[in-house]
Structure 1
């Protein structure tokens, strides 16, 4: 595994305590901070929607501890994985997780900020670029998050920096995949539309009778096909089960998510 940095590698000892989670029915072992932000449903859905082939390159902007990359590696063996993460503690965990899951030889984790831009990372263009960007770019829009969660919730450079790095990281015909708040859909489409098209949108609803709170957005760089609106994924029903049958199959790695 290659280690690289475009930011100073300083790790706060308070952030080094970790817990281990089992994902995809135990196929993935993931070390995450004992305190602070931990990846969950959004990361699982994003990874489930990647339909990459062996030998392809995938780039994740804001990879955190590697939850998406490790699940993608388990679902799509033989990929070349690159993650960019500005938090040195999270980047260090992502490297440990690559070791833990036996994909260190195909994984590069770079400590750096999305605002740096892809061109400054000295990396080849990719086939897929994915991201679960911070959901807010205005700290007054929500109660101040704890320091350990701030980086995951607040996009200091706004959505523009995130869409820019995704667009610049893929070759023509490459896929861009994001998960975000449903109420930011129009903003994201507007930002991606300059260099991408062939949009596919998958709403994610908490219940069948409630509006979508998340959307998965797939775009093709230089794509020209009409926009496709997929049937919604419903996460819960009123049966008392934790998830719907469809959602549970996706979370366990027994089914893919088509976007």
Structure 2
């Protein structure tokens, strides 16, 4: 990828090279990383890691993690390696397809798997014009395969974290319940009184706890955006600017 930008994340603690056009990491992978209950020394696999935003945000918050990313598109994989090197974080990036797991990952197991799979079901939507953006937002791999492959990569009692649009919640829960347990759902609400648009799902391999639906976490202050400045809620601002964890109850 020839045309890139260098963008600041976590208040400048992390800088990421990204394509100038096409799919670009924003707030969502940062929030996903902040929800992960990883501890120093544990292993993490980021399925569909893109330029490494979620994995590197997690690595910047929790020292001593062993980070691995799987990325289909060579250009994004190259940027993820560059970003890991520039930020001095240990991210091993493997090129390959979630639906045809590379041999380098088939027999490996991890304490955590994180993923931000495509938000849109292309059986009910329109493809993006740019191929890299379409692969990130739509793609051809079903949520069933994403979750199935994630579950296979988890160690016993390991955790899966997913961020996804609320429209796909029924199939997300269906496939997660078929393979994992102890499901917890954290809705992300854009403003007070608005419907949630995104959810973060936490699930555990061999988990036996009852399903938990947490109160929605409000992203922005105020019912409308009526001022020309950032107005993230304090909890979200702490995540985005200070690298704080999300308040995801255990």
TM-score (norm 1): 0.89
**Deviation per CA, 1:189-242, whole angstroms, max 9, x where unpaired?**
110112211111100011111110000000001101011112211111237343
Give 1:84 shift.
0.3
What is the distance in 2 between the residues matched to 1:211 and 1:93? 35
Distance 1:145 1:233, change over 3 A: farther
Give 2:20's aligned residue. Answer: 34
SS in 2 for 1:45: helix
Equivalent positions of 1:11-90 (< 5 A) are 15-90=1-76
Q: Does 1:179 align with 2:168?
A: no
Give 2:83's aligned residue. Answer: 97
Give 1:120 shift.
6.4
Alpha-carbon contact 2:163-2:200 (below 8 Å) kept: yes
1:157 to 141, 154, 161: 141
2:130 to 129, 132, 146: 146
Q: Which runs of 5+ in 2 are unaligned?
A: none
What is the distance in 1 between the residues matched to 2:153 and 2:113? 7
Q: Does 1:246 align with 2:232?
A: no
Alpha-carbon contact 2:127-2:134 (below 8 Å) kept: no
SS in 2 for 1:193: helix
What is the distance in 2 between the residues matched to 1:58 and 1:165? 14
Give 1:236's aligned residue. Answer: 220
**Deviation per CA, 1:60-115, whole angstroms, max 9, x where unpaired?**
11000000111011001100000000000000000000100102xx3210000100
Distance 1:51 1:79, change over 3 A: same
SS in 1 for 2:33: helix
What is the distance in 1 between the residues matched to 2:21 and 2:124? 23
Alpha-carbon contact 1:135-1:155 (below 8 Å) kept: no
Q: Which runs of 5+ in 1 are unaligned?
A: 1-14
Q: Does 1:256 align with 2:245?
A: yes
Give 1:244 shift.
1.5
What is the distance in 1 between the residues matched to 2:45 and 2:102? 10
What is the distance in 2 between the residues matched to 1:254 and 1:124? 29
What is the distance in 1 between the residues matched to 2:123 and 2:3? 27
Give 1:128's aligned residue. Answer: 112
**Deviation per CA, 1:11-59, whole angstroms, max 9, x where unpaired?**
xxxx332110110011101110111110011111001111211110000
What is the distance in 1 between the residues matched to 2:43 and 2:220? 33
Alpha-carbon contact 1:234-1:244 (below 8 Å) kept: yes
Q: Report the aligned-residue RMSD.
A: 1.6
Distance 1:31 1:123, change over 3 A: farther
Alpha-carbon contact 2:183-2:210 (below 8 Å) kept: yes
